[in-house]
Structure 1
Amino acid sequence: MDAPDVLKKIAAYKKNEVRLLKSTTTIETLRHSAQNIAAPKGFLKAIKNSKHTAVIAEIKKASPSKGVICNNFNPVRIAKEFESAGATCISVLTDKPGFQGSNEIFKQVRETTKLPLLRKDFMIDPIQITESRLMGADCILIIMAMVNDLTAKLLLNETKKMGMDALVETHNNNELERAIKLGADLIGINNRDLRTFETSLDTFGKLSNKSPKGTTLIAESGINTRFDIKKLQKQGAHGFLIGESLMRENDISMTLNNFIK
């Protein structure tokens, strides 16, 4: 499987990050340490049990395609606003080169909120999953465009071992079929093409009806209005990952509230 150029670049520096992590610890050591922290909060369960529109509100300072999105970036303040405005879960970018995120930002948010947290990063090795649990993550991201089926299975197995949920991200028919075969119960359909960064909400509708019943579907990217949410709900969306359209607003709470109501 040939990953797009942008994902190849990301995979290259992720391999270096994993190499560095493995030079300082082992997955067994991290697993042992993870036994001493609070159990995962139930990311998928929170989405399923939400009494209103389930929004995974994303804390994201920048992106490779747009540069800096949020100039007045204060992750602790943003997390508090997300929680008070009714977010079901929170996603935190920890990738540094492309998104100006960090593990420290994630830890700050973990100390700030009781909501379930998704560590949004590019997972290529099970040790990243275990590290995520030790940081207090309740869910991790598996991008099918980035990994082969064997790696995806290893990542999902470690996720289950840690008691976490995995959001398995897809963008086309092939990736969706692979995610279903993997046994994913929480599938993200990304409206943004990582090859071109072009976004189309039509992507969700083309794929959602091919998902088996019982699968929880998350619509990702390009969600800017309440109308978008209504449209995607009719097409089978159970939840929404929203980042950029929140990060660009001065009044984050009001914007999020408008998505949810």
Structure 2
Amino acid sequence: MSNGKRGSRAESYRIETFKKHALAKHALSTITPQMVAAWRDARLTEVSSGTALRELQLLGHVFSVAIREWGVRIPSNPVGLIRKPRSGKARDRVLTASERTALIAACDQCQNPWIKPVVVFALETAARRGEILALRWNDVDLAHRTALLQVTKTGEPRRIPLSSACVSSLESLPRSLDGRVFPVSMEALKQAYERAVARAGIANFTFHDLRHDALTRLARQGLSVLELRAISGHTTANMLQRYVSIDASELAVKLG
């Protein structure tokens, strides 16, 4: 694992999960497809199929590296020989108008003053949590209402537009000494956000769902697929589609 690459935090968490399982007590050369399949079945009783699939992909990568680069003598990658769980249905959770108001109000009650601005930024820009926390004032242009996200999932920087509400929120912020727009840690944000969601009385709404909500709202405002991809950073329209909820009743109104 590389600590410098995108996604290293999530990858590190998955590795720690593997280390706690009995499978980690065996030498790589002794692990069979049947053992991996048993791990898969046990894991599916604890987490979603999507999570189990991502963990299997990481485990498969470990075996690939071991075979190709470490010289471990294994006849084949055992992960490649078992049935993979389905990735699962894409989440389609978006906020109602009342939930959005309640969430922002709950974030305003947080002891940490940076939680509400982070959530507002996420709701207005559809940026990912890591992209938001890495944003620096040097990359924010309030005059032209844009922000340059230097740290992105794809590794390619992208410039995003800022709404009036987003600009107003940013203008009210103090400037931190370290140059970051939102000087808060990932863990502090995670805990404070989860408490705010609970205070707001909102069920089943993760921080990543803010991205889904933002893109759905932008689509309803009439932005094209190309414009939405420029904002979201998705490389394909198919990937973007997983993040935009289309209401059939709204389409019916357009049809007349």
TM-score, normalised to structure 1, is: 0.26
Normalized per residue, the structure richer in strand is 1
Larger Rg: 2
Output the TM-score relative to the length of structure 2: 0.26
Which fold has the larger relative contact order, with Cα–Cα distance below 8 Å and residues 6 or more apart in sequence? 1
Which has the larger share of helix?
A: 2
